[in-house]
Chains A and B, each alone.
Chain A
Amino acid sequence: MQKIGVFVCHCGTNIAATVDVKKVVELVRYEPGVVFADDYMYMCSEAGQEKIIEAIKEYGLTGLVICSCSPRMHEKTFRACAEKAGLNPYMVEVANIREQCSWIHKDKEEATKKAVILARAAIAKVNLNTPLQEGESPVTKRALVIGGGIAGIQTALDIADAGYEVDIVEKEPSIGGRMSQFDKTFPTLDCASCILTPKMVEVNQHPNITLYTYSEVEKVSGYVGNFDVDIRKKARSVDFGKCTGCGECQTKGPLGKIGNIPSEFDRGLKNRPAIYMPFAQAVPAVPVIDRENCTYFKTGKCGVCAKICPSKAVDYEQQDEIVTVKYGAIVVATGFDIINLDKYGEYAYNECPDVITSIELERLMNAAGPTGGHLERMSDHKAPKEIVFIQCVGSRCDDDKGKPYCSKVCCMYTAKHAMLIKDHWPDTNITVFYIDVRTPGKNFDEFYRRAVEQYHVNYIKGQVGKVKPQPDGSIIVQAADLLDGKQINKKCDMVVLAAAIEPNPGVRKIATMLTASIDNNNFLTEAHAKLRPVESPTAGIFLSGMAQGPKDIPETVSQAGAAAVKVVGLLAKDKLKTNPCTAQCDTLLCNGCSTCANVCPYGAITYEDVQVNDHGLRETRRVAQVNVALCQGCGACTSACPSGAMDLQGFSNRQITTEVDAICR
């Protein structure tokens, strides 16, 4: 049986004016478990707290009920006060008789009655309270960044600069990501590689950063502060130590420098050989052999690259390697891709080489791209004179074909493309079919207006019904002009599609490994959309870049920095304090049915086969185990559990039931 002290606060007149405080004291004095009850003007004041401490010592109190303002206000205060007197802070319950009683009721008798009932509920609860201990878990001072695009690069640099070790895992042979494919960036039109390459080099040279390129995360276990991650380093077939990055190997293969494999980097607009570096500024500057397409790996014959390599770096015998590394925090920066356009037959993308995506246009306009920066039609290599841009291809769709969201960057990059084309080839006519032009952002609307006003880009609010390639090589775009209400048949010689962006398809697998939640569109979910936008609900997992949602480069970079700060904030701690109000499984009642794990937003519940002794019956059972470092104490599992095995400390089934009983008494 507890020895409970009840302390009723007047809060000046805030409570006392409507609640007869003395009467409350008299009426709760005889509740089961109560050994002491008193009132005071300001319970939270130093004198008030002193009173509590004295009573704890004098009466050997084991539990406290403070009838005062909201626990959201002073629960911490009173818990600290209890702790000072040597009482476990979780043996304190607060009855909210100010915000939820005296302030909203006028009739003193009624308010007093209610205050007594609220106090009784709190007393009944404290009778079932048990001392809870905050747990501690150590922190591995190393972070993992998954994805080596601009988001991952920036996050890694910021963490590394703060003095912590960080590893980047990138599945491609080089870091750089999508940004390295871009030509110029809006709204300043500076060259993407000019601003990105220095950062890539910095990453490569940073003493705190380890790069795992051509590598993938294979398995994740553990929890915040203590993740164990298996990284698969795919066989590069080129010895990192020996290769000097001279590039000789890529020139003399079966098809020389041209190769016959569509280059991923150039979006298939150009070919590459089987041994390749994706692009000239690749980091690391070490080629890989694409084994699926290599003649040697396919037929056992060839071996030319090995013969010509001056440093004998080519190693056909190399094997995939799995390294296991411990991390304290993980940042997901897996970025995006554009949607597959197979479902959009009306745009003739698969049919006509002159219907291209915006990202292909980036490559076509890039000096290092397949055409050396000359904008030309892929069909006849002639310069296009009439170009149509189609917006929202698969964005803002209400059917199953596309995505319901706005891809956010298309309006801006289309204006950028239009202006760049007009700058280089002023005699080109450009028409943009849009649904809405969205330009919120610093200098964004000015940028768009320049395209319309200075460059005379023809913006038509209208939806494109069909893109029809013509036998003469031209293309007719059928559209409705929504403002004029007219049907348009626009003849042109190139069509550029602003295809919707989507999270990198690999993110689903990674999210599952990390037990990080993702939304219906496969974007990672934030812990709180407004207040914790760079954290995943799963503790220790952070979000950076497009993996979380569509955003442009400056936003990505700022989010990357924010994620880095959160990581640093975590790594700076030697120990993590864990919330003691966590779920707990009664292994004797647990069925091992996994229902609780299905509703846990934090992946805090795992299953283990344990040996139990159920009143003398010994057997091995599959039971739930709660990782208290991950559990945030929401209690979703407790309501899902049919047998009542899963319970929440501090808000246990019996505690809440007894509160209900006390109120209904």
Chain B
Amino acid sequence: MSGVLTLPARRTAPGVFVALAVTLAIGWLVVTVDGGQLFSLPTTVSLLHVAAGLGLVAVGQTLVVIGGSLDLSVAYVISLSTLVAAEAMNGDDAALLPAIGLALAVSAAIGLLNGLLVTKARINAFIATVGVGLLLKGYLDNGYDGPAGKTAPALVQGLGYQRVGPVPVSFLLLLAVAAAAWLVLARTRFGHHLIAVGGDPEVARLSGVRNHRVLVTAHVLCSLCAGLAGVYLASRLGSGAPRVGTEGLYDLESIAAVVLGGTALAGGRGGVAGTVGGVLLLASIDAIFNQLEVDAFFKQVIRGVIIIVAVAIYARRALRKAAS
């Protein structure tokens, strides 16, 4: 027994990064044989942009999933956030910060609602967030018949198109948010409590953790991340778009990225590093298939298979660990 004890508790990097490396290597080979270039500047930039949008949402989603919850309303929150931001800016750089603040505040309020429904009203997170999503959908459908508002030019230039070398500012934003989320999980009391609530709510409660408060906070943070993704998308699109979230399938894709990254859907296990890996994996598949001009529907089949296989592998590993 004591031999086992000396093992370090921190686990090695999630398998998703191995998968990412293998995917990129094979992808690079195939694309090169095909006569293309996988790592050309524009392709890399595009890949990172796609990753940035999905990544911001997925990092937030990671937090609620670790807490044993789930947020299926993020797609609508994103759409709403693009609209709030773009309409409040109305093309005026002076309104930039207040508008971003407003968009984030609205998002946070929705997260608060989600959190209260899950904790105080004791509605299963699946139903609660689908329900809130429907509320928002009605608002968007009723209030908007197309893109509205105009993003401040400074934001478009800065967040939307500016880059440092091959790395877009938005991807740096993602890295910053992911690092912040990592810090929150690893180094704040809230983070520790969140992992505990997801791992075993009863243990958390008996240890003096205020489960409800923790879960509500996680939902607020998740919605904030979605709101931030919305601000980013507004900077890319130049305006608010009422269906950008749902068209992008950000709800299901973010969950896919989270589980690809090794976070357990049941909660209590996982982290944002894996999620970023999952996001990069999905974006790389996109990029490779783009280069090869593979049918989008075929890509979808592949994605479905990858998600199932990845989680099956994680499940097998967890099983082996439990047995050892």
A and B form one complex: no
